[in-house]
């Protein structure tokens, strides 16, 4: 087993609920228990808190069922496939019978055929100055393991169900975990602005690994790691400074035009930008706000929408279909009508950049610059 799965996979092997499932459930159960106390607190509406508790309970049940039926089954089946293939001939290595190790992990199907498809996802950048700009975006193709050409399913409708489910799960989990942490920190007497920022940061420590799980189940972690590769100093300057500065200027110009159009049609935006931290709040509050909004949020959102979702759609459709749809979904999770447009514009720019550079680094850097500017000019 140790040679087949890493620590994460081994956590989901065995009888349900496994250690991995319990870890996934822990923050929601904690938020649910904290909410039970808050349910009768006079500062909160009873029916609002009751609704939150019902949603949390639904999430707990959904995570348990999803982990039991898919995550635990996936890793148990992987162990079964590896063990069975050791004792079969090369002509029949992909087929696994019901006997042997499969019977010990509760897998009922009689045969499994797991395709192993290797595709090229790597790139090699030449920043020596001997090549033109176009060549900076072209790559030599090197195969990476565990990358399926059709993701978790060959069927289009199944793939879309998976993508929509993962996106909704990411959004709902982000909100609910953040609420849970916020309630706990409020109970400890923390100011609401600081509690808001710290709860968001803590939430991303759960959401980012969850996104990595999505990529593992319906994508390629090795390809994602390649898109996060920094490489040489020249490449780092190009990806993390030069491109983001130029793109942020372009993004700002487009959003100025969008703002003028919005005001002419609907009047001044009514977005709520009060997050409880201001310039006179103190260095600790301001620091955590910047960490939350300008550092952790761009990393988490880019991994989800340009790291997982864009590639998942791109496997089934064209580049521009993937860019547009992933950008619209990225915009919708921001809820506020005006901000939806701002985020969608940014998503289109970052999506094109991701496709063109084959890297997540400039997307994350652009997002950080934009959010830092928004934090300094709007939120504080």
- Residue 75 domain flag: yes
* CB neighbour list of residue 39: distance below 8 Å, 6 or more residues apart: 46, 49, 50, 53
pLDDT of residue 307: 95
Q: Are 101 and 182 part of one and the same domain?
A: no
Number of residues in the chain: 380
Q: What is the pTM of this model?
A: 0.65
* pLDDT of the chain, 380 residues: tens digit per residue: 445 677 777 888 888 788 888 888 887 777 777 766 666 655 555 666 666 677 777 778 778 887 887 788 888 887 764 444 444 444 444 443 434 433 333 433 333 333 333 333 333 334 344 444 444 444 444 333 344 455 778 888 889 999 999 999 999 999 999 999 999 999 999 999 999 999 999 999 999 999 999 999 999 999 999 999 998 888 999 999 999 999 999 999 999 999 999 998 888 888 888 888 888 888 999 999 999 999 999 999 999 999 999 999 999 999 999 999 999 999 999 989 999 999 999 999 999 999 999 999 999 999 999 999 988 887 66
Does residue 186 lie in a domain region?
yes
The total number of structural domains that make up the chain = 2
Residues 90 and 192 occupy one common structural domain:
no
Asked if residue 163 and residue 48 are part of one domain, the reply reads no
Q: What is the predicted pLDDT for the residue at 43?
A: 55
Residue 119 lies in a domain: no
- Same domain, yes or no: 171 and 270: yes
- Residue 178, domain member (yes or no): yes
Statement to judge: residues 172 and 236 lie in one domain = yes
Domain ranges, residue 25: 1-112
Q: Which residues lie closer than 8 Å to 314 by C-beta, 6 or more apart?
A: 322, 355
**Residue 82 belongs to some domain of the structure:** yes
**pLDDT score at 275:** 86
Domain presence at residue 16: yes
129 belongs to a structural domain:
no
The answer on 301 and 161 residing in a single domain is yes
**30-57 as b/e, with b when 16 or more CB fall inside 10 Å?**
bbbebbeebeeeeeeeeeebeebbebbe
Last residue of a domain, one of 56, 78, 112: 112
Domain boundary among 55, 82, 112: 112
């Amino acid at each position: 087993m140790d040679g087949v799965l890493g620590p994460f996979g081994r956590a989901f092997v065995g009888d349900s609920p496994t250690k991995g499932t319990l870890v996934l459930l822990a923050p929601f159960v904690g938020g649910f228990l904290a909410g039970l106390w808050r349910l009768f607190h006079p500062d909160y509406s009873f029916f609002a808190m009751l609704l939150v508790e019902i949603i949390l309970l639904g999430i707990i049940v959904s995570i348990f069922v999803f982990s039991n039926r898919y995550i635990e089954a996936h890793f148990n089946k992987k162990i079964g496939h590896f063990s069975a293939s050791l004792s079969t001939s090369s002509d029949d290595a992909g087929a696994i019978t019901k006997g042997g190790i499969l019977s010990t992990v509760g897998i009922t199907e009689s045969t499994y055929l797991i395709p192993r498809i290797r595709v090229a996802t790597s790139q090699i950048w030449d920043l020596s100055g001997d090549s033109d700009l176009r060549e900076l975006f072209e790559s030599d193709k090197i195969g990476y393991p565990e990358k399926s050409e059709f993701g978790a399913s060959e069927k289009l409708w199944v793939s879309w169900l998976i993508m929509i489910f993962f996106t909704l799960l990411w959004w709902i989990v982000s909100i609910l975990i953040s609420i849970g942490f916020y309630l706990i920190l409020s109970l400890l007497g923390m100011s609401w602005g600081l509690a808001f920022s710290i709860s968001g940061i803590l939430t991303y420590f759960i959401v980012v690994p969850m996104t990595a799980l999505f990529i593992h189940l319906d994508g390629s972690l090795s390809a994602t790691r390649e898109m996060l590769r920094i490489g040489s100093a020249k490449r780092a300057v190009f990806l993390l400074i030069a491109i983001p500065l130029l793109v942020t200027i372009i993004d700002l110009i487009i959003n100025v035009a969008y703002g003028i159009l919005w005001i002419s049609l609907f009047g001044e935006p009514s977005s709520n930008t009060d997050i409880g931290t201001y310039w006179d709040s103190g260095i600790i509050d301001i620091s955590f706000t910047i960490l939350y909004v300008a550092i952790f949020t761009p990393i988490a959102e880019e991994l989800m929408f340009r790291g997982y979702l864009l590639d998942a759609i791109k496997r089934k459709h064209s580049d521009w279909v993937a860019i547009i749809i992933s950008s619209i979904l990225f915009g919708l999770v921001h809820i506020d009508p005006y901000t939806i447009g701002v985020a969608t514009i940014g998503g289109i720019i970052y999506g094109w950049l991701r496709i063109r550079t084959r890297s997540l680094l400039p997307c994350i850097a652009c997002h950080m610059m934009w959010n830092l500017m928004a934090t300094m000019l709007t939120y504080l």
